[in-house]
């Protein structure tokens, strides 16, 4: 049954979230006392004790852990240690910034990457192919912070064409989106190229040509959907990179998104906020995984059949 397939996936997803919650709990507890970071090392023992009690940090670890699991299960991620607001509302305020930048960067990367990958595959081993692939390798291997700073130096400081800080207007979004998008374009171009090369040599593409199907239709209707299956797998996997990339890019370009929130939360040992963000990220990843799975079944009748059987 289809329902059972997705039920398994969801249960597995919840399990993953639980592991992540536990892991961050342990890691953050090992890395130091959040109250120290909050009040500074000049604070009196009474002040420290007050805060420890207030956040429940004076209780044994296992109690803290269970209490935390309990409130998370109810959707309560606690108060941010540094500014006393609910962690969820801080994230909610930052999320639109991240989504806007992330979606734009992802679309840029996807369209550019898939387009370039197709062009490269159709011109295999010709100069265009080599050029595109050099670009892909460069885009893929340049670190985000390096490309971001390079673009700021050129477009903001040298030519003074684009703003480099914040995300108030679409003009502000161009440089960060290009920075983040270039990385994805590089990845997708390489995968699209190899997936297309494989599919273009399939018998059904040859057969399509033998019955008079013109090349654009062969590429877009016969080859691309078949190549899309491995490409979509990569898209699912690369969403993790999007999160990692946006942390860097938001910091470089001073975009008030979730990435920057996370960096600040980690530096100030904002226990509750860090956990809330990590959980949100993992839920996103799990949802993305589900979405990839659904898209598979939409594209591929064999998957539909297999899912319906299992």
Partner 1 sequence: MTGMTIAEPGEGKNTLLAVEDLTVGFRTARGYADVLHAVSFRVEQGRTTCVVGESGSGKSVTCQAILGLVPRNGRRTGGRILFAGMDLAAADEATLERIRGRGIGMVFQDPLGSLNPLHTVGAQLRETLRLHTDLSELQRQKRALDLLAMVGIPEPEQRLASYVHQFSGGMAQRIMIAMALACEPQLLIADEPTTALDVTIQAQILDLLNRLKAELGMAILFITHDLGVVAEMADTVVVMRHGRVVETGPAARVLSAPEAPYTQTLLAAMPRLDVAAPVYRQRSAR
Q: Which residues bind partner 1 (CB under 8 A)?
A: 124, 202-204, 206-214, 221-222, 225-226, 299-302, 305
Of 170, 191, 168, nearest to 116 (Cα)? Answer: 191
168 secondary structure, DSSP code: S
Q: Say how many C-beta atoms besides its own lie within 10 A of residue 242's C-beta.
A: 25
> Least distance from C-beta 198 to partner 1, angstroms?
13
Smallest distance, partner 1 to C-beta of residue 128, A? 15
Residue in 119, 153, 154 with CA at minimum distance from that of residue 136: 119
**CB under 8 Å to 258, separation ≥6 — which residues?**
91, 94, 95, 97, 98, 246, 250, 277, 280
Residue pair 121/192 in contact (Cβ under 8 Å)? The answer is yes
Residue closer to partner 1 by CB (options 3, 216) is 216
Does residue 162 sit in helix, strand or coil?
Answer: coil
Give least dist CB 218 to partner 1, A.
10
Please identify, using beta-carbon distances, which residue of 9 and 202 lies nearer to partner 1. 202
Toward partner 1, which CB reaches closer, 3 or 214? 214
CB-nearer residue toward partner 1: 47 or 197: 197
Separation CA 207–CA 213 (nearest Å): 9
Cα separation, 174 vs 276, in Å, equals 29
Q: Looking at beta carbons only, is 2 or 206 nearer to partner 1?
A: 206
Residue 192 C-beta: closest distance to partner 1, Å: 17
Q: How far is the CB of 229 from partner 1 (least distance, A)?
A: 9
């Amino acid at each position: 049954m289809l329902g059972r397939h997705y039920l398994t996936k969801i249960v597995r997803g919840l399990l993953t979230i639980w592991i992540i919650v536990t892991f961050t709990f342990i890691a953050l507890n090992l890395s130091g006392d959040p109250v120290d970071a909050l009040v500074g090392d000049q604070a009196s023992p009474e002040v420290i004790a007050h805060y420890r009690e207030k956040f429940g940090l004076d209780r044994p670890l296992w109690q803290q852990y269970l209490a935390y699991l309990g409130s998370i299960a109810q959707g309560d991620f606690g108060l941010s240690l540094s500014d006393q607001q609910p962690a969820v509302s801080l994230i909610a305020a930052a999320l639109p910034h991240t989504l806007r930048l992330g979606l734009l960067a992802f679309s840029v990367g996807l369209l550019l990457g898939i387009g370039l990958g197709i062009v490269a595959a159709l011109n295999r081993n010709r100069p265009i192919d080599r050029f595109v692939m050099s670009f892909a390798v460069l885009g893929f291997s340049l670190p985000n912070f390096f490309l971001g700073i390079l673009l700021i130096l050129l477009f903001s400081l040298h030519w003074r064409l684009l703003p480099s800080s914040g995300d108030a207007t679409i003009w502000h979004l161009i440089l960060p989106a290009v920075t983040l998008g270039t990385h994805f374009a590089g990845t997708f171009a390489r995968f699209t190229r190899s997936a297309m090369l494989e599919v273009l040599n399939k018998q059904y593409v040859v057969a399509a040509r033998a019955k008079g199907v013109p090349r654009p239709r062969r590429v877009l209707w016969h080859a691309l959907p078949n190549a899309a299956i491995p490409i979509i797998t990569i898209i699912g996997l690369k969403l993790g990179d999007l999160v990692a990339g946006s942390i860097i890019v938001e910091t470089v370009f001073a975009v008030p998104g979730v990435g920057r929130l996370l960096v600040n939360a980690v530096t100030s040992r904002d226990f509750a906020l860090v956990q809330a963000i990590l959980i949100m990220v993992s839920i996103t990843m799990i949802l993305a995984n589900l979405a990839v799975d659904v898209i598979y079944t939409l594209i591929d009748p064999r998957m539909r059949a297999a899912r319906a059987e299992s």
